């Protein structure tokens, strides 16, 4: 979290890219030199980090489940330094260290979903597929949006937290909201808050639950990859006069079985009233708690209401054993209580990053006091001149 334009989204995009690369390397093994050369360029183009985002002082250091990655364009590691890393692969300004946590790459097969701040445009624009051009995170989100939304039909509506509306899409890909009081409206003419939160909740529900409840059909890309591998395998074995070993096909099929999800959400508070922000955080944390999978959730925010809500859910976990069962049922957020040890909250300001949690993991009271004081100083100054009469 942090002020406007402090770098929150840039860090979120780097996290998204590096977790994808970690997953790719755990599945495919050591990358080829020509592949590594394109990784940073892929990060720049896919996440639109062009025109000044990278310079000679840019450094990225990432520790994943399978790889460690070091990128330093200004002062790259020397070959001697790189070789000092155990199991090191060195490619100029990009260095890799490979781990052994996942001996079976399927264990590291996560579904990575990036939900951008611009998500509400999928609600506002008709015939959205006509606008797809560049291969980047926006196009990827649109593709994922169509995959997700088509799972919610009139007979399988999705409740949109506590907003009195259920979402579904028609066979013609028309997005509809069924209102609690009766009647339907098109999502494209709904309030800005609904246009922002519906894509978020729809994607969140599908990625956290939907993909684990069904046997997902192959995409065109997956089908082409499978056909390519089959042809390669058959060709190799023909040359050797042997029958094809189909174990490679099993690897491809298993790669479709996700073990957990990693979701990155930019600014969940967009266009939302404070109490709706609260309910959205409750919803996301409850989904994480109910999933019984090691899901990971990354949020970027500059909303104090998001932080207040998260703090409340962590406090609930800390005191849950002391609250009488009967009284516990009165807390609306009890299903969203979360262990502070599983949460990290970082503030970015003026290029610096720091934790704002105390030793118990709760957000420091001083942090809230300082920000509220900054907001109210002028008001209290003027209040001294206010004549109550």
Q: Residue 184 pLDDT more than 90? A: yes
DSSP code of 30?
S
- Name residue 352's beta-bridge partners: 349
pLDDT digits (tens, 9 = 90+) for 229-283: 777 766 766 666 665 555 555 555 555 678 889 999 999 999 999 999 999 999 9
Q: Residue 45 pLDDT more than 90? A: no
pLDDT digits (tens, 9 = 90+) for 121-154: 777 666 666 555 666 788 888 888 888 999 999 9
Task: Output the pTM of the full model.
Answer: 0.81
* Confidence tier at 87 by pLDDT (50, 70, 90): very low
Q: Cβ(168)–Cβ(95) under 8 Å? A: no
> Can you give the pLDDT at residue 88?
45
> Can you give the pLDDT at residue 271?
92
**Consecutive H or E run containing 263:** strand 260-266
* Confidence tier at 364 by pLDDT (50, 70, 90): confident
Domain positions in the chain: 8-107, 220-254
pLDDT digits (tens, 9 = 90+) for 4-37: 888 899 999 999 999 988 888 877 777 776 676 6
Ramachandran region, residue 66 (left: φ > 0; alpha: ψ -120 to 50; beta: rest): alpha
Listed in sequence order, the residues at least 6 apart from 280 whose beta carbon sits closer than 8 Å to its beta carbon are 161, 197, 200, 201, 268, 269, 272
Span 336-358, average pLDDT: 92
> Can you give the pLDDT at residue 377?
85
> Can you give the pLDDT at residue 275?
94
More confident residue, 122 or 163: 163
CA distances from 83 to 29, 77, 78 (A): 18, 10, 9
Ramachandran region, residue 127 (left: φ > 0; alpha: ψ -120 to 50; beta: rest): left
Q: Cβ(167)–Cβ(152) under 8 Å? A: yes
Q: Cβ(300)–Cβ(267) under 8 Å? A: yes
Q: Residue 176 pLDDT more than 60? A: yes
User: Percentage of the chain surpassing pLDDT 90?
Assistant: 37
d(CA 64, CA 149): 31
Q: What is the mean pLDDT of the chain?
A: 81
């Amino acid at each position: 979290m942090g002020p406007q334009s402090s770098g929150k989204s840039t860090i979120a995009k780097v996290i998204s890219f590096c977790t994808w690369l970690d997953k790719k390397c755990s599945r495919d093994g050591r990358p080829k030199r020509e592949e590594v050369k394109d990784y940073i360029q892929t990060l720049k183009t896919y996440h639109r980090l062009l025109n000044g985002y990278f310079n000679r002082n840019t450094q990225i250091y990432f520790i994943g489940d399978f790889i460690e990655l070091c990128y330093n364009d200004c002062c790259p590691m020397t070959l001697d330094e790189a070789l000092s890393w155990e199991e090191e692969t060195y490619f100029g300004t990009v260095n890799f260290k490979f781990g052994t946590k996942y001996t079976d790459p399927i264990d590291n097969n996560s579904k990575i979903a990036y939900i951008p701040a611009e998500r509400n445009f999928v609600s506002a624009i008709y015939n959205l597929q006509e606008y797809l051009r560049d291969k980047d995170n926006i196009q990827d989100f649109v593709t994922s949006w169509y995959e997700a939304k088509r799972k919610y039909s009139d007979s399988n509506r999705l409740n949109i937290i506590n907003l009195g509306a259920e979402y579904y899409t028609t066979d013609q890909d028309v997005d509809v909201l069924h209102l609690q009081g009766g009647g339907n409206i098109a999502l494209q003419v709904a309030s800005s808050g609904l246009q922002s939160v519906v894509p978020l909740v729809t994607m969140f529900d599908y990625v956290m639950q939907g993909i684990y409840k069904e046997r997902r059909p192959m995409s065109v890309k997956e089908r082409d990859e499978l056909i390519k591998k089959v042809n390669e395998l058959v060709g190799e074995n023909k040359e050797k006069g042997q029958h094809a070993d189909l174990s490679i096909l099993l690897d491809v099929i298993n790669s479709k079985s996700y073990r957990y999800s990693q979701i990155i959400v930019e600014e969940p508070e967009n266009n939302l009233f404070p109490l709706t922000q609260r309910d959205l955080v409750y919803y996301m944390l409850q989904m994480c708690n109910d999933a019984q999978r090691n899901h990971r959730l990354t949020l970027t925010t500059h909303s104090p209401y998001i932080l207040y809500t998260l703090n409340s859910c962590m406090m609930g976990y800390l005191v849950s054993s002391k609250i009488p069962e009967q009284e516990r049922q009165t807390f609306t957020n009890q299903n969203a209580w979360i262990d502070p040890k599983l949460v990290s909250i970082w503030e970015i300001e003026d290029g610096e990053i720091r934790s704002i949690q105390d030793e118990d993991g709760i957000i420091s009271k001083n942090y809230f006091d300082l920000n509220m004081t900054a907001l109210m100083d002028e008001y209290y100054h003027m209040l001294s001149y206010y004549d109550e009469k």
